[in-house]
Chain A
Amino acid sequence: MFEARLVQSAILKKVLEAIKDLLTEATFDCSDSGIQLQAMDNAHVSLVSLNLRSDGFDKYRCDRNLSMGMNLGNMTKIMKCAGAEDTVTMKAQDNADVVAFMFESKNQEKVSDYEMKLMNLDQEHLGIPETDYSCIVKMPSQEFARICRDLSQFGESMAISCTKEGVKFSSAGDIGSANIKLAQTANVDAEEEAVVIEMQEPVSLTFACRYLNSFTKATPLSAQVQLSMSADVPLVVEYKIGELGHIRYYLAPKIED
């Protein structure tokens, strides 16, 4: 028996928004410790890694490990049926071929039950090597989304260069070029508005804007985003999901021929 309850269904809606741009279907691996999902996009350029800890749920029970393959388009249809203030409960029996979603309004005046068929997905689990990243940048997530949107007007790729002084985002194409520099913030009132750089060595990497823009669909989940970079390895873009867990995106760089 698996059962997971979230008082705020809005969180699950946001998680789904954050992954459905990159993935059409995915397997949710449920265990005693929580729910995990790891999947690459079709082109194997990016990877989504979602971790929702059992202790972050309002109620959580998982007697046996369970892998639930879901079509994310269909899951989105069902999650759209939940009111913003509803509580959501996901349930499945052991070895079930369906997952149930129950939405309850405040005071339980309205209770809606939906069942979705599960899929058997071939899933390739990837091992991600432990990396000591040369640069870790923490910045407001809305600022990062804005920069990705603005720079993607200029070209398909953007360079991210990080030094002790700051982080520079740049792009160039037919219409011209764009450069945005963010300095490390000296003092800020709110921690989430800060730009903080931890640098061991300067790094400059180039990435496809299209994927970065997809990652920024996670912006509503967190006020801050963390970018981890080292030379010639995939970028990690991480959004915390409150006390519940995190979503991490890995993106392979563009490299010199």
Chain B
Amino acid sequence: GKHQATLSSFFFST
């Protein structure tokens, strides 16, 4: 199955 990723895995905190 697939699960929903969150943006924190792709974008970085500035």
Contact = CB atoms under 8 A, between A and B. Distances in A.
Contact of B2 (A45, A125, A126, A206): A206
Contacts of A46: 7
A98 to B, nearest CB: 28
Contacts of B8: 44
Interface residues of B, number: 14
Given A126-B7, A127-B13, A255-B2, 5 more contacts: A43-B6, A126-B11, A129-B10, A234-B10, A252-B4
B11 A45 contact: no
A127 B12 contact: yes
In terms of DSSP, what is the predominant structure of the interface of chain B? Answer: mixed
8 contacts: A40-B7, A45-B5, A126-B11, A126-B13, A206-B2, A252-B9, A256-B2, A257-B1
Which 6 residue pairs are nearest across A and B when measured between Cβ atoms? A254-B2, A126-B11, A252-B5, A44-B6, A127-B12, A127-B14
Nearest to A124: B13
Interface of A: 40, 43-47, 124-129, 157, 206, 208, 233-234, 250, 252-257
B13 A45 contact: no
Nearest to B2: A254
Given A127-B12, A127-B13, A44 B7 contact: yes
A234 B7 contact: yes
